[in-house]
Amino acid sequence: MRNDLHLQTLTATALGWVDPATDAMAMPLSPSTSFLRDPNNLGRSGRYFTRDDNPTFLQPEALINQLEGGAGCLLFSSGMAAIVSVFQRLKPGDHVVIPKFVYSGLREWLQSQGARWGLQVSTLSEYTADTVKAAIRPGQTKIVWLETPSNPTWSIVDISVIADVAHSAGAIVAIDNTVATPILTRPIAHGADIVLHSCSKYMNGHGDLIAGAAVVAPGQEQLLQDMRNQRNENGGVLGGFEAWLLLRGMRTLYARVKTSSETAMKIAEVLIQNPAVSEVLYPGLPSHPNHDIAARQMTGGYGGMLSFRLMGGELAARRMAANVQIFRQAISFGSTESVIEHRADVEKSGSPTPRDLLRVSVGLEHPEDLIKDLTNALAIADSADFEAQIVAV
């Protein structure tokens, strides 16, 4: 497909692909495990077994690759399978740099499996050119990991600044772009070498699929080939049906991300005025410490994820999460329906997440309904007769 088209057009048309065998405009699903060999025992289609490859992967991989401006994409069985395969290429003794606030599953993997693997990890409270430069161990640092906005405080990092520092030390920049999605940030254009996604979130967008993806920048094709081999050897391959569902979900990615960003902005502006809230963490607010970077780097919105802290501390946060009616108290994000979560509870020991913090994923409901729901739950959480109210719910 032409590469001068807007992301909105690329997603809505799923690259405009039509099945050559049937002229079907919706991609057919190919559930086959095996592919026929010819009399010489060679795969006629170049395929043999779905753990290597499946035709249903091609369209979602091509679409994600084009959205990210990459040189190639691979689907994985989950976001974690994609993320971990970047670290599993490393050798014992190799060093990586990660931010303090990062998706907790990665932090926990590095503490458990990564430690057994012999990886050395530096965790930085602040991600600036100076802090990253100081953390880099020449010859030993192989990956500088970014997430922007990052879980669950939605800190923003200037990707190009960090990429310059990492590249001059011979390290690659890997970025988890699950939250921003390529609709709001295209990290390869800012110097990232590899972009990872949990497609279980916005990419699919309907809360009914676990999937992951990796996209490499031009020049990093060998990295992708290594990860392809690893995907086969580790077995972290996506099912054909999930790949099909993913492509269907991505057709509405643009509209979903835009709507949830607009609503999240409205919610952040209301919450910041509420006396029961001590802090609202959202990159779209001018009060966010890196709002200026977000305004430069993010395109057309600040995302559907925001967090806030309560004056009443942990108890008030728990009370509030127990008293929403439209938001659901649940894990994960990026679906059509809004969810709220006491994040410190679900992150394992060593979590830096404040205990008075609630994380919300803003869905596609009407903003007024969501604002009313949060405002009511805040009032209940703040009230003295909370115990009576929770029994009545």
Identity of the residue, 78 or 259, whose beta carbon is nearer to ligand PLP in the bound complex: 78
Which of 80/163 has CB closer to ligand PLP? 80
Among candidate residues 103, 127, 202, 282, the one labeled active-site is 103
Q: Is 51 a catalytic residue?
A: yes
Closest approach, Cβ 158 to ligand PLP, in A, equals 19
CB of 154 to ligand PLP, least distance (A): 11
Q: Which of 107, 142, 186, 201 is catalytic?
A: 201
Give the number of residues written for the chain. Answer: 393
266 is catalytic: no
Which residues would be at the binding site for ligand PLP (CB under 6 A)?
78-80, 103, 105, 151, 176, 178-179, 198, 200, 210, 212, 332
CB of 240 to ligand PLP, least distance (A): 18
Active site residue 127: no
* Greatest distance between any 2 Cα atoms in the chain: 79
Distance of closest approach, residue 286 Cβ to ligand PLP, in angstroms: 25
Q: What is each CA distance from 275 to 75, 314, 315, 335, 370, in whole angstroms?
A: 45, 16, 16, 29, 18
Residue type, 298: M
> Which residues have a Cβ under 8 Å from the Cβ of 345 and sit 6 or more positions away?
none
Q: Which residue has the tokens 């006629």?
A: 44
Q: Which is nearer to ligand PLP, 114 or 312 (CB)?
A: 114
Nearer to ligand PLP, 178 or 260 (CB): 178
Q: Which of 47, 51, 89, 355 is catalytic?
A: 51
- Please, what is the minimum distance in Å from the beta carbon of residue 250 to ligand PLP? 15
Catalytic: which of 176, 193, 356, 373?
176
Task: Return the number of the residue (163 or 196) whose C-beta is nearest ligand PLP.
Answer: 196
- 9 CB-near residues (< 8 Å, 6+ apart): none
Which residue's Cβ lies closest to ligand PLP? 79
> Does residue 282 carry a catalytic annotation?
no
Helices 367-382 and 253-271, axial angle in degrees (round to 10)? 40
Active site residues: 51, 103, 176, 201
